[in-house]
Structure 1
């Protein structure tokens, strides 16, 4: 079941006459926004204001996590983008699916912004962008205002770090004048997801919690990602279900994580499967805990352990990561779901 992408407020959004550049990491065709003479100004409303892009953006920069994957998937190479700061297994600042896509486009690595200590505004300005994409991000109002002095900025539609991958594609593609191509990319990826999930009917309806922030030395609380987080929201795309207990505990739509006291573990009696970052040490700790071991998912061994590798990183779905990880991730989920009651 897919959530329908929210239509961003676009005034006379310009659509391209060319075909879709890429619906997955397997295509190498390249597309650019329409010519300047055909451009119609695009206006996008988002959580931090309203952005109007008056002229065709030829130089696209992106900040924060994964926004660069939208132009790359559509065949547009950014002039600058954030370096990967999680899951980068070889230290080159690129996740493997991004590296592969650049190779397919026969493109050099763009300028990589070091965001270890926040956005490097000077580095962004040095790339001289025409538009800055940040549809999936945690921009503050101050960040947005500072970036807006450089170029028009496309920010997140509703809340920081809570933009579903479909909406990230939609809003960022609109900011490039590629709304039609963005819609086709969403449709193509959703079909890939449907096809993968259809091969594993055991996934359908399995109540799954994404457990996070686990300290094996202190299991007095159970922390989880709420349905607002993109990792947990991806379960729905795969046909899994959100446990009613997690939905009930996630009362603030702007928060992407929460916690429940282990003393209230009985409220999580509907959790059939757990996905989490960790290794066997974590499983051993859960099984040995007198309270957490009562959870059906723990009792039945229905636990998916994500490693601190690109595979684990890709559990947060992004346009290029989805086709790269889908087969492996769905296989791991299906194996654990088969143990659920």
Structure 2
């Protein structure tokens, strides 16, 4: 599988609640209707069993029939919806400068659909729901999983259409891809299909781990560079770290405790030795100037992991994006591209 590389904007997600006036509409148990458009699969066929329901951090959302106008608010939610043969009428732009905010790994699933792109080209790291725009789309289902949706925001969105928030069992932005797939499948009436998708990707991870036993138990950190003077170490629940631990790598307890329930923790350049583990992974594909900045840090060359050659820079924007998105559609490409690189660094280090 090969894709052209693109996408340069910052991939860090920070949550800043934005409180706006509520829009008119049905309550969370009803559904809005639209004049045109459909979320049917690109081939025109949509399957599923209804009524359907899913539990989330703010209650239970139920649908009596298949939704025809789905709006996705999470930065990566569109991938999960597309995986079930449903094309949203609107998606939320994250980063990457791709048409319809759809990266190459999801283009086949999108087909000829042309969803409205909300937040297009305006990524700031802040969550910003435009309630009026959402209401004008007349959705009959709103999905906001990879978000930091608050109770107040959920209440406002539910007044427009039935809304699904993330699971209460995980921190914001920390829900595993398996659970996201499961929740989307449930509300779309395709629970069995969700389990098939999960099993298929899990098997790919298991096969990769079995083929590379040298990865098992290796302590690693996934780090990124956003602000001068510090690095950002990804947490135990962050999708980038989860990708690595599912292959057998181990996140040091100190890093896990430092990040807690957040998606990561900043580490000042003066304390950069905290990143000195058996493997250091830099996810820098969103900005081709970052590697030079990192390598110029005062303590960088003194790290034993650097001296041993156990550093992997993920510089290709598309590979970095596939790891960052960590969706049921992007993960196969991330595995295909990254596992050989990880094995080479671990196996060929000094």
For the criterion TM > 0.5, the same-fold answer is yes
Deviation of 1:41 (Å): 5.1
Matches within 5 A, 1:110-125: 110-114=115-119, 116=122, 118-125=128-135
Please report how far the alpha carbon of residue 234 of structure 1 lies from its aligned counterpart in structure 2 after TM superposition. Answer: 1.4
Contact 1:79 1:111 in 2 (8 A): yes
Aligned length: 300
Q: Corresponding residue for 2:113?
A: 108
Distance in 2 between the 1:56 and 1:181 partners?
A: 17
CA contact (8 A) 2:221 2:233 kept: yes
Deviates more, 1:143-152 or 1:302-311: 302-311
Tell whether the 8 Å contact from 1:196 to 1:327 is kept in structure 2 after alignment. Answer: no
In structure 2, the partner of 1:297 is 305
**Structure 1 residue 151, shift from structure 2 partner:** 1.1
Q: Is the 8 A contact 2:52 2:188 kept in 1?
A: no
Question: Which runs of no fewer than 5 residues in structure 1 stay unpaired?
Answer: 1-21
Change (3 A) 1:181 1:85: same
SS in structure 1 at match of 2:77: coil
Q: Does 1:238 align with 2:247?
A: yes
Taking the TM superposition and a 5 Å limit, the aligned residue runs for 1:142-181 are 142-158=152-168, 159-181=171-193
Q: CA shift at 1:206, angstroms?
A: 2.0
Say which is worse superposed, 124-133 or 260-269, in terms of deviation: 260-269
Q: What's the secondary structure of 1:61's corresponding residue?
A: strand
CA deviations over 1:89-111 (Å, ceiling 9, x no partner): x55532111212223xxx42223
Unmatched segments (≥5 aa) in structure 2 = 1-40
Residue pairs, 1:188-203, within 5 angstroms: 188-203=200-215
How far the C-alpha of 1:169 sits from its partner, in A, is: 0.7
Q: Which residue of 2 aligns with 1:42?
A: 53
The alignment status of 1:96 with 2:104, answered yes or no, reads yes
Once residues 197 and 46 of structure 2 are traced to their aligned partners in structure 1, the CA distance between those partners, rounded to angstroms, is: 13
Residues 217-249 of structure 1: CA distance to partner in whole angstroms, max 9, x if unpaired? x54x44211112111121111222112331242
- Change over 3 Å in CA distance of 1:200–1:275 after alignment to 2: farther
- 2:278–2:310 Cα contact (<8 Å) kept: no
- Does 2:332 match 1:323? yes
**TM-score, structure 1 as length reference:** 0.77
Which of 262, 283, 287 is residue 276 of structure 1 equivalent to? 283
Deviation at 1:288, TM superposition (A): 5.3
Aligned partner of 2:219 in structure 1 is 207
> What is the distance in 1 between the residues matched to 2:99 and 2:44?
28
Distance 2:279 2:44 in 1: 43
